[in-house]
């Protein structure tokens, strides 16, 4: 059994600044792996570890950062045997359809993939659409909101965490799933795992090697603006000794 776990490198949101015209400044942002994707990798590992001889490999799509050694180690240390990356300088303006198209082509190229596991949504844009789109492009069954999954006899059994119920369902392999954000706690890699991860193979494909025709319709971003913050009175009391004055002021605004 071969399982592919997908992840996306996203800008660290703590490093994003708001410009005076309310546009975002991402230029100082470092990169990190999307939080939800670590959950997907962990679920892929757990399904794989329960199957003798199963192989878990990683797949990402992004700019030059996909080969950053420190980031690679941080992800590959979570257990998978090896991985693949599709490099594209235009990846940052891809939408969920475009990304799904690239991943579907890469999964085809990897070959013999029984299961694809994606996170709940990307850590930055969080559209939660890549898994169902890529599954449909590959003509494979798909479910989202998966909190538990196990494979047996060419079939996947999942528990889906829906709004008001947990649904148990089966789907035939090969298949695609996306997890919930709380499905499982990603393992914390030890120093040995991190050192070993540096030596794990990462196959890097340029976008042209995966998709010959990249002319998909794109969702156009008209603008991305931080909402203006209201002006506030900013009456600040310093220290616990000023508690009485604070409580007086609080009574007046309540």
91 to 120, contacts with other proteins by CB under 8 A? 95-98, 100
Q: Which is nearer to other proteins, 4 or 125 (CB)?
A: 125
Task: Tell which one of 27, 163, 191, 215 touches other proteins (CB under 8 A).
Answer: 163
Euclidean distance between CA atoms 112 and 99, whole angstroms? 21
Q: Which is nearer to other proteins, 144 or 202 (CB)?
A: 144
Q: Does 143 bind other proteins (CB under 8 A)?
A: yes
Q: Does 220 bind other proteins (CB under 8 A)?
A: yes
Task: Tell which one of 81, 110, 137, 196 touches other proteins (CB under 8 A).
Answer: 137
* Three-state secondary structure call for residue 59: strand
> How many degrees, rounded to 5, is the angle at CA 102 between CA 138 and CA 158?
45
Distance of CA 51 to the CA centre of its chain: 24
The kind and range of the H/E element at 148 are strand 142-152
Q: Does 230 bind other proteins (CB under 8 A)?
A: yes
Q: Does 144 bind other proteins (CB under 8 A)?
A: yes
Task: Tell which one of 81, 136, 194, 203 touches other proteins (CB under 8 A).
Answer: 136
The kind and range of the H/E element at 197 are helix 191-199
Task: Tell which one of 170, 204, 208, 209 touches other proteins (CB under 8 A).
Answer: 170
Euclidean distance between CA atoms 145 and 241, whole angstroms? 50
For other proteins (CB under 8 A), the number of binding residues is: 81
Distance spanning both ends of the chain, measured CA to CA:
62
Q: Does 234 bind other proteins (CB under 8 A)?
A: yes
């Amino acid at each position: 059994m071969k399982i592919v776990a997908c992840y996306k490198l996203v800008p660290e949101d703590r490093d994003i600044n708001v410009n005076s015209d309310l546009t975002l400044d991402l230029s100082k942002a470092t990169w990190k792996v999307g939080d939800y994707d670590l959950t997907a990798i962990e679920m892929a590992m757990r399904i794989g570890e329960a199957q003798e001889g199963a192989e878990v490999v990683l797949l990402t799509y992004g700019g030059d950062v996909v080969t950053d050694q420190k980031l690679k180690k941080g992800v590959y240390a979570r257990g998978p045997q090896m991985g693949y990356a599709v490099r594209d300088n235009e990846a940052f303006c891809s939408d969920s359809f475009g990304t799904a198209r690239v991943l579907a082509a890469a999964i085809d190229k990897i070959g013999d993939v029984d299961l694809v596991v994606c996170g709940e949504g990307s850590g930055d844009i969080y559209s939660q659409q890549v898994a169902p789109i890529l599954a449909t492009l590959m003509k494979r069954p798909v479910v989202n909101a998966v909190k538990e999954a196990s494979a047996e006899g060419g079939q996947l059994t999942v528990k889906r965490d829906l709004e008001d119920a947990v649904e148990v369902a089966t789907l035939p392999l090969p298949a695609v799933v996306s997890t919930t954000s709380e499905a499982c706690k990603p393992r914390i890699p030890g120093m040995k795992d991190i050192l070993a991860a540096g030596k794990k193979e990462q196959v890097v494909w340029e976008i042209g090697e995966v998709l010959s025709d990249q002319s998909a319709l794109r969702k156009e971003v008209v603008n991305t603006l931080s909402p203006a913050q209201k002006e506030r009175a900013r009456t600040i009391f310093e220290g616990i000794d000023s508690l009485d004055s604070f409580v007086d002021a609080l009574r007046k605004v309540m």
